[in-house]
Structure 1
Amino acid sequence: MSIRTRATAVGLTASILLGGAVALAPAANAVGSSACNIKDAKPGGVWETSTSNVNLRSGPGTNYSSKGQLGKGTDFTYHCTYKTRDGKGLWYYGTVRQGVHKGVKGWVFWQYAHLA
């Protein structure tokens, strides 16, 4: 095998291995509390959804996937808040306390939640 052929084979193998590593990386569209830009002095308060069919999102925005829908009155433990760049919207990050999605962490738009 020539040096050029060997170098190409090594490069191809490295590309395949790196591609496999990227495929195994966690989804980039899942955003946890690291996105919070407002930290409450007292996280842990209980909030609840104020309407039915509220999307529990994987990140703070409608461009993020839904982890499922929460029914009216579903409790969640509040952790922190994300304020949109334009300052017009707030997203609450929390952990669902009851129902089918109990224990799931996600984002709820402020208009669909209030203190329990």
Structure 2
Amino acid sequence: MRTSIKRGVIGLAMAGLVATGVATELTTAGPASAAPGHYGASACNKNTVNKTYKMKYSDVQLLWGPGTQYDSRAGVGKGKKFRRYCSLYKTPGQYGWHYGKVLTGANAGKKGWIYGANMRAA
């Protein structure tokens, strides 16, 4: 009985938010295209030494998560620097996904994921 009352109250509260337009702002605030979610260092499975890399190619994508199913957060140009904080290796012996921060270029300061094959040691 309590659960159904609680759901009813929550439903009414949400209906009021939708009517005032607040729910729209709540759902669109932040990275709207970060489906299925975005992940920081908590997704890493290897704590690597912080190291600076340069991009090998033009327009390397900085992603919201460790995989191509995640949306792009920003483009990182050839030669731009990226500081790796940690890594996620899905298959041993293959390039991994690296979480870190862009250090140079138009998107300096943004954090996200870059695939290891796109980088070389600075």
Q: TM-score range by the shorter chain?
A: 0.7 to 0.9
Taking the TM superposition and a 5 Å limit, the aligned residue runs for 1:95-110 are 95-110=101-116
Q: Distance in 2 between the 1:25 and 1:17 partners?
A: 19
Aligned-residue Cα RMSD (Å) equals: 3.2
Q: Hey, what does 2:47 align to over in structure 1? A: 39
**Count of aligned positions:** 108
The 3 A distance-change label for structure 1 pair 83 and 24 is same
Report if the CA contact (8 A) 1:29-1:65 is conserved: no
| Structure 2 segments unaligned to the other structure (5+ residues) | 18-22
Q: Which has the larger radius of gyration?
A: 1
Matched, 1:76 2:82: yes
Q: Hey, what does 1:4 align to over in structure 2? A: none
Q: Which amino acid aligns with 1:12?
A: G
In the TM superposition, residue 56 of structure 1 has moved relative to its aligned partner by 0.3
The 3 A distance-change label for structure 1 pair 99 and 8 is same
Q: Distance in 1 between the 2:105 and 2:28 partners?
A: 31
Task: Give the TM-score normalised by structure 2.
Answer: 0.73
Matched residue of 2:68: which SS? coil
Identity percentage of aligned residues? 30
Task: Give the TM-score normalised by structure 1.
Answer: 0.76
Matched, 1:52 2:48: no
Q: Distance in 2 between the 1:53 and 1:70 partners?
A: 5
| Structure 1 segments unaligned to the other structure (5+ residues) | 1-6
In the TM superposition, residue 83 of structure 1 has moved relative to its aligned partner by 0.5
